[in-house]
Amino acid sequence: MGKLIYEGTIKVDFDDRTLAHLQLVIGNKLRRGEPFHFTWRDDASIGDGRTTVWLHPGCALVYKFYGSRKPQLNPAWIDALAYTANSQSGLYLVPEPAQATEELVADHELP
User: Which sequence spans correspond to the domains of the chain?
Assistant: 2-108
Q: Is the pLDDT of residue 60 over 80?
A: yes
Q: Is the pLDDT of residue 33 over 90?
A: yes
**Maximal C-alpha separation, the chain:** 40
User: Where is pLDDT greater, at 104 or 24?
Assistant: 24
Q: Is the pLDDT of residue 103 over 50?
A: no
Dihedral sign for Cα atoms in the order 84, 90, 96, 101: positive
How far lies 8's CA from each of 5, 38, 79, 100, 111, in Å? 6, 16, 28, 37, 23
Q: Is the pLDDT of residue 109 over 80?
A: no
Q: Is 52 helix (H, G, I), strand (E, B) or coil?
A: strand
| Bridge-based pairing state of the strands 91-92 and 36-41 | parallel
Q: Is 50 helix (H, G, I), strand (E, B) or coil?
A: strand
pTM of structure: 0.85
**pLDDT band, very low/low/confident/very high, at 43 (cuts 50, 70, 90):** confident
